[in-house]
Amino acid sequence: MEHNVFQVIWFVLWGVLWAVYFVLDGFDLGAGILSFCVAKDETERRAIYQAIGPFWDGNEVWLITAGGATFAAFPKTYAVMFSGLYTALFLLLFSLIVRGVAIEFREKVSGEGWRRFWDFLFWVSSMVATLILGVAFGNIFLGLPIDAQGLFHGTFFSLLHPYALLVGAFFILAFSVHGACWLSFRVDDEFPELKARLLRDAKILWVWEAVVAVAVLLFSLKLTPLWGNYLKAPVLVIFPLVAVVGLLFVPYFLNEDRPLAAFFSSGAAILGVTAWGVAGLFPNLFPSRLNPAWSLTIYNSSSSPLTLKIMTVVALIFVPIVLLYTLWAYRTFSYRLSRKELLYGEGY
């Protein structure tokens, strides 16, 4: 019984880590997706990099933490993930590396061609990373073709089925709206034309986000077992309700010229959607599409009780510290950008 408690605790923490990662890294991935088309000159491009500069690398720490938690708490799931999904995960890692290099390298040479080259890679890598994250969770929601031994029966291209691509499209749209809200807040009135384009694009993309979100929920009802837990425990409906309310308030705050409030609403929507998916999976981590009995669950893929106890103590000590540092960083650097400061340093 005690072991089961710790398994459930770490399942919840696993979901929380992914949710925090999507909310935090989601806006700078979204900024990367928007960057190549919304910025019209070098000053505006530097403003976009400056808007995410103090945060992007810290945001990706949550991805490492989510992966580390999977490795330590559910090692069998981690092993299947990095064997069967090796190609997809390698592309994700490569995209994130290229993205970080692009942010750092674009200012090393002052030539226009050099900067545009790295701007293009920043855009492509942000798009690819976001798509892969969405496709990965789309496959997890639908179920992976794994057998009783945890062997993956499929290829990289078999992961690119319509449902997974639909979830991938939702990730791209949700992160783009999230990024547009953040950028609109940071650039404010110092860059009126850029802010106007960001607000315009956020409203347009929000419509598509809402349409695709409804499609994901409906196709999930038909194709996946995610809604089963909601029939057993109706109280869980709070998660999709949070997503719906957050999503509906985004255009309201944008029309009121309150981009920071729209950003928080968008974040709430992303949190709600992530919680909806994770709660629907329970107790599965990797459902098997071949046979539900072969699914990797929190019960058949977790570490020993002692390992989970030690991890819980460590998490109780260090996760609050990381959260406090994150809050401090955002409080310190989340100021409105000025044109003057773009003349100095490397853009952030």
Q: Round to whole Å and give the CA distance between 205 and 31.
A: 13
Side chain identity at 310, as an amino acid letter? I
pLDDT confidence of residue 3: 54
Contact 25, 60 (CB under 8 A): yes
pLDDT at residue 343 in the model = 65
CA distance 18 to 55: 17
**What are the structure tokens assigned to 147, written together?**
């057998």
Cα-Cα end-to-end distance for the chain:
50
Q: What is the pLDDT at residue 346? A: 54
Mean pLDDT throughout 155-162? Answer: 90
Q: b/e string for 55-80 if b means 16 or more Cβ within 10 A?
A: bbebbbebbebbbebbebbbebbbeb
**What residues have CB less than 8 Å from 287, skipping those under 6 apart?**
140, 142, 143, 144, 225, 281, 295, 296
Give the SS3 label for residue 226.
coil
Token couple for 120: 């293009």
Q: 209: helix, coil or strand?
A: helix
pTM: 0.94
Tokens of 134: 């969405």
Mean pLDDT taken over the chain: 91
Q: pLDDT, tens digit, for every residue of 28-74?
A: 999 999 998 898 888 889 999 999 988 988 899 899 999 989 999 99
Longest Cα separation, the chain: 64
Q: Is 114 exposed, middle or buried (0-12, 13-18, 19+ CB in 10 A)?
A: middle
Q: What CATH fold (topology level) applies to the domain 2-343?
A: Formate dehydrogenase/DMSO reductase fold (1.20.1630)
pLDDT digits (tens, 9 = 90+) for 254-311: 999 999 999 999 999 999 999 999 999 999 999 999 999 999 999 999 999 899 999 9
Tokens of 247: 């999503």
- C-alpha to C-alpha distance for 92 and 84, rounded to whole angstroms: 14
For the chain, the structural domain boundaries read: 2-343
Give the per-residue pLDDT at 318.
87
Round to whole Å and give the CA distance between 195 and 39.
Answer: 10
Distances (CA, A) of 2 to 6, 8, 267, 341: 7, 10, 34, 55
200's CB contacts (< 8 A; 6+ apart) are: none
Residue with token string 């000159």: 41
Cα(133)–Cα(146) distance, rounded to whole angstroms?
19
pLDDT band at 348 (very low <50, low <70, confident <90, very high): low
